[in-house]
Structure formats: structure tokens, C-alpha cells
Amino acid sequence: MIVTTLILGLVLGGTYALLALGLTLQYGIARIMNLAYGELTLIAAFGLVALFQQAGISPLLSLLVLPVLGYGLGWILYQGMMRPLVARSDGTGRLEVDSILATFGLLFLIQGLLLLAFGANFTSISYLDRGVSILGVSVALNRLIAFGICVLSGGALVWALNRTTWGLRMRAVALTPGSAPLVGIDVNRIARQGFAIGTALACVAGASISMYQTFSATGGVIFTMKALVIVIMGGVGNVPGALIAGLALGLLETFVATAIDPGLTLAATFTIFLAVLLWRPQGLFGARS
């Protein structure tokens, strides 16, 4: 029983961690609080299903292609929508309010387009839905693949941020966007890359989730909500923090759903969020400012 909860919780947590990675990059590096994040993941989810059902393209192939398209979409969104706001705010707190409202508008825009294109019904495909036994617990293969993708992309990101010059630039912009130009960093370019990579990761998460979970055009808000809670728990811009917090949230939700009531998982998420805000608003792994 405990082993089952642990394994299922870790697998669910992997999805959440993957979901939060992109958001923590977008907010940590590009400083855009993206409330339309869940809708971006849904674009990839619907994209994968449409490619699979209509063109017969293997979801595993889509998993490689969709993030590339996502990178492009993120690039365009940042350049077309966020960059003017960044320029207008001129380093003041105005950017936060503007980006919240603009991405809030983007949320409805994407949601409306998805509703028009795919309707309001729940969508699902079952791809590679075979049980695989791990320590005596049967886990669906597609969930394991999603967990693997999470570990891979999370690990690669942590390595790139900490071990490469490119990562050093990213971290410099995340830490002090005002001083980064002094050492010759093009802040605009790095922020754009951060936002675009965040969007690409959103697509990775959306595409992996669509392989095993039912979803609908109006469900993006819940994805955004969970990703936000994980980002705050892990500390804004903190990639390892987001990974650990995501896994923790998955474990907690699975525990609450099996031991208490599945209807209370969101309440559990919020309780944790409230606790983090009260005791460690800088995140479980962030340094006190």
C-alpha cells in the first residue's frame, strides 16, 4: 500500500515537476508571470492528439517535434507581446502587473481558439497503455515515459545552467537583470531565450501528459495553478527546487487521494501553498533575502 502510493506519487510528481520547469524559467529569467502557461501546454497536448488521430504520426515523434515548434511560438510571443511591455516598464514594478494582465488575456485567447478548433469535450488517447511492474506495483508505460522525460530534461537543464557559460549568463540575468549588461550580456536576448525554452518545456509537458491523461480546452488553468504552486515552493527560478517540489506535490496528492478523498487534492495543494507562504515565502530551497 505504502509502496504503491510512493511509486504512483513519484510518477505523478514527475509530471508536475516537468510542468513547473518551464514556468520557473519564464518567471525566473524572463520575469514574465505567465498565467497562460497551462494553455500553452494544452496546445501541445491537442497538437499531439490531432497528429496521432488524423495523420497517424507517432506520439513519440511528436514529442520531439512539438517542443521545437513551442520554442518558436515562445520566441514570437516574447518578441511580439512581452518585449514591448518590458521596454515600457523600464525596470519598474509595472511589468509584473502588465504581464499578468496581458498573459491573462492570452489565456482566454488560446482557450477560445482551442474551443473553436477542438470543442469543449474531454479528449484522451491511450498510447502505450501497458502495465509495467515496478517493485510489484503496476505502472502504465506511458506514465513511466513521461517520468523519464522529466528526469532527462530536468537533469539536462540543471547541468546546462550550472556547468556552461550559457547557463552562467542565464543565471546572471535571473539574479540581477540590471547589472548583467555591465559584463556584456544581452539581457533582452537571454530573456527571450528563457521564455522560449520555457514554452518549449511547456510543450514537452503537455505532450507527455496527453499520452495518459484526459484533458479539455478549459482545463489549462489547473495546470497553471499547480505549476505556480510548485514554482513558489521550489523558489522562483530554482530548477532543482522545482523538480523536488513537483515530486513532493505528486506524493502528497496521491497520498491525499488514496488515504482521505480524491475530491480534496486541490485543497491539499493549497494548504501546502499557504504553509509555504506563511513560513518560507522565498521557497523551500531559496535563500532568505
Partner 1 sequence: MMRIILPLAGLVLLALLPLWLSDYGLGLMVGAATYVTLASAWALFSGHTHYVSLATVAFYGIGAYTVAVLNEVLPYPLVLMVAGAMGAGLALIVGLSTLRLKGVYFVIFSFGLAELIRQLITWYEVNVTGTLGRYIFLEITTAGIYWQMLGLGALTLALTAWIHRNRLGLALRVIGDDEAVAAHSGIHLARVKLIAFVLSAVILTLAGAITSPRYVYVEPSIVFNPTVSFLTVIMALLGGANRLCGPMLGAVPLFLLFEWLSAHFPDSYPIFLGLMFIAVVFVLPNGVIAGVETLRHKLREARS
Residues that bind partner 1 (CB under 8 A): 33, 35, 81, 84-85, 88, 93, 96-98, 100-102, 104-113, 115-116, 221-222, 224-225, 228-229, 232, 261, 263-264, 266-267, 270, 273-274, 277-278, 281
Instruction: Decide whether 61 or 275 has the Cβ nearer to partner 1.
Output: 275
Instruction: Decide whether 185 or 225 has the Cβ nearer to partner 1.
Output: 225
> Positive or negative, the Cα torsion across 4, 45, 59, 245?
negative
Residue 144 half-sphere exposure, CB side, CA atoms within 13 Å?
A: 13
**Residues in the chain, overall count:** 289
Instruction: Decide whether 156 or 277 has the Cβ nearer to partner 1.
Output: 277
CA distance 283 to 235: 4
Judging by beta carbons within 10 Å of its beta carbon (0-12, 13-18, 19+), is residue 5 exposed, middle or buried? middle
Closest residue by Cα to residue 199 from 9, 28, 34, 17: 34
Shortest gap between Cβ of 248 and partner 1 (angstroms)? 18
Instruction: Decide whether 254 or 265 has the Cβ nearer to partner 1.
Output: 265
Instruction: Decide whether 182 or 259 has the Cβ nearer to partner 1.
Output: 259
Instruction: Decide whether 55 or 259 has the Cβ nearer to partner 1.
Output: 259
In order of 16, 51, 134, 151, 263, the CA distances from 60 in angstroms are 20, 11, 22, 16, 32
Shortest gap between Cβ of 23 and partner 1 (angstroms)? 11
Shortest gap between Cβ of 197 and partner 1 (angstroms)? 21
Shortest gap between Cβ of 271 and partner 1 (angstroms)? 10
Judging by beta carbons within 10 Å of its beta carbon (0-12, 13-18, 19+), is residue 11 exposed, middle or buried? buried
Residue 267: which H helix or E strand, with range? helix 265-279
Q: Quick check: 202 and 40 in contact, CB under 8 A?
A: yes
Shortest gap between Cβ of 41 and partner 1 (angstroms)? 16
CA distance 91 to 30: 12
Instruction: Decide whether 227 or 243 has the Cβ nearer to partner 1.
Output: 227
Shortest gap between Cβ of 223 and partner 1 (angstroms)? 12
Shortest gap between Cβ of 33 and partner 1 (angstroms)? 6
| Cell 547589472, residue located | 179
